[in-house]
Amino acid sequence: MIKAVIFDVDGMVVHGEQFSARLARECGVPLETTASFFQNEFQECFVGRRDLKKELAARIKDWGWRGTTDELLAYWFSPAGNALDENVLKIAEELRQEGVHVALATNNERYRMKNLWQERGLKRYFDQLFSSAEAGVKKPHPEFYQYILDRLPGMRKEGVLFMDDDAKNVAAAQQFGFPVLLYKPGVDILGRIK
């Protein structure tokens, strides 16, 4: 019996254009200018080894950003680039009302997760948030799934449904021992659980 459901964030709960593409399109910052940052320093931010604000502060002048680091983050995290999927949130809310533990699991850095969890209000729909920045490792590494299980007291692998829109993350979670669901818009999440 499924006692906990783990939702991916980007591509499932949150939808939007990739930030570097949006920055290029709306602000004229070429992808070639930001590519090195997102391939290098940002990957370290993902697992909590570097601080995104400090890393951005060292780069934004080269990108031609005229505002502050905080203003860039506000632009990055704005609802315009991070739309919440109301249908998925309703499903999470329904599961929660039925006594199922619902959580988020994401490869993301700390500032964006704080923004989504607190300012954007995802904490109203979910019981927990598991991020690579806190775990120190990203999906699909097995340690990420162990990190989740260790923070679900009294739950066994077979009672934790893991959902993601990335097939390799789903395959790794299944190999770890979680029941899984590859998410695509319109998939019957509740039917999979009941």
pLDDT tens digit sequence for 111-138:
999 999 999 999 999 999 999 999 999 9
Per-residue pLDDT tens over the stretch 76-98: 999 988 999 999 999 999 999 99
Residues 110 and 142 in one domain: yes
State which amino acid sits at residue 157.
K
What percent of the chain lies above the pLDDT cut of 70? 99
Q: Residue 3: phi, psi to the nearest 5?
A: -110, -20
| Angle 189-1-150 from CA coordinates, rounded to 5° | 90
Whether 159 and 179 map to the same domain: the answer is yes
Query: Is 74 or 186 the better-scoring residue by pLDDT?
Result: 74
- pLDDT value at residue 151: 97
Claim to verify: residue 43 and residue 100 sit in the same structural domain: no
150 and 93 part of one domain: yes
Chain center to CA of 130: 8
The CB density around residue 82, as the number of other CB atoms within 10 Å, is: 20
- The answer on pLDDT for 194 being more than 70 is no
Distances (CA, A) of 187 to 106, 163, 177, 184, 194: 20, 11, 22, 6, 14
> 188 falls in which pLDDT band (50, 70, 90)?
confident
Same domain, residue pair 31 and 95: no
- In 47-153, which residue ranges form alpha helices assigned H by DSSP? 52-57, 60-63, 69-77, 86-97, 110-114, 132-135, 142-150
Residue 87's domain spans which residues? 4-15+83-193
The number of distinct structural domains making up the chain is 2
**Tokens 């780069």 — which residue?**
59
Residues 115 and 71 in one domain: no
CA nearest neighbour of 109 among 13, 11, 41: 41
Q: Name the pTM for this structure.
A: 0.94
Proportion of the chain above pLDDT 90, given as a percent? 92
Mean confidence (pLDDT) of the chain = 95
**Tokens 């591509």 found at:** 11
The pairing of strands 83-84 and 14-15 is: antiparallel
